[in-house]
Amino acid sequence: MAVSTGVVSSAPVIRWGNLGWVAVALAVMIAAIEADNLWFLNFVHVMAGVLWTGIDLFMGFVLGPIQRRLDLPSRRALVTRLMPRTLFLMPTLATITGTAGSALASRMGFYDLDYPGKAWVIASLAILAILTIQGLFILLPVNVRVCFEIAKENPDLEKVSRRMKLYVRMVAFQGAMQVAMIAIMARFATGL
């Protein structure tokens, strides 16, 4: 079922069937949180974080510069295929990473630390808050707008270009923030 007004493509802009995969991923996260298995919870947290960070870094620092140099028809083809996929993938990975990480920190006693260890916990929570706010209130709405605009018979390519520039800049910033988060996580892994 296509969500549309002015959308010409016969393929749906947003493939709601992807919500099934989102549900499966969230069910695995819930199972990891509920299970009494620290390894499983850590695996879910790390795997989601690796995927989220890797995709952000790839999109921000590799795909973004390439996309800016493509001609408009090629850029449109790329965005038409990429944005609907990231619409479901990135918020899911971000949700799993943060939620599983918080549960893991609680189980491992990181929330009960004194300073200076507590400062590392606060830093990680601050970065997570920034990433979450940017993801939900900037990247997700831009993604949806680009998906609908690009699917129109006569999309406003200047509008799409402006939104994609914002999107790529924000993804690059998120990638940099995620590298900072990895540095903090390395500190957690080697002892505070």
Q: Quick one: pLDDT band at residue 136, thresholds 50, 70, 90?
A: confident
Q: Are 125 and 111 in contact (CB under 8 A)?
A: no
187 alpha-carbon distance from chain centroid: 23
* The predicted structure's pLDDT at residue 8: 44
Q: Is residue 115 scored above 80 in pLDDT? A: yes
For the segment 106-117, the average pLDDT, to the nearest whole number, is 89
DSSP 16: T
For the segment 146-171, the average pLDDT, to the nearest whole number, is 80
SS3 for 65-117 is HHHHHCCHHHHHHHHHHHHHHHHHHHHHHHHHHHHHHHHHHHHCCHHHCCCCH
* The predicted structure's pLDDT at residue 79: 74
How far is the C-alpha of 49 from the C-alpha of 47, rounded, in Å?
5
Higher pLDDT, residue 114 or 9: 114
* The predicted structure's pLDDT at residue 163: 84
* The predicted structure's pLDDT at residue 3: 44
For the segment 172-185, the average pLDDT, to the nearest whole number, is 87
* The predicted structure's pLDDT at residue 7: 42
pTM above 0.75, yes or no: yes
Q: Quick one: pLDDT band at residue 140, thresholds 50, 70, 90?
A: confident
Residues 6+ apart with CB under 8 A from 132: 94, 98
pLDDT digit string (tens) for 11-70? 567 778 888 999 999 999 999 999 989 999 999 999 999 998 888 888 777 887 887 788
Give residue limits of the domains in the chain.
Answer: 18-190
Give the chain's mean pLDDT: 84
* The predicted structure's pLDDT at residue 36: 86
- Specify the residue for token string 């493939």: 15
For the segment 121-134, the average pLDDT, to the nearest whole number, is 91
Q: Is residue 9 scored above 70 in pLDDT? A: no
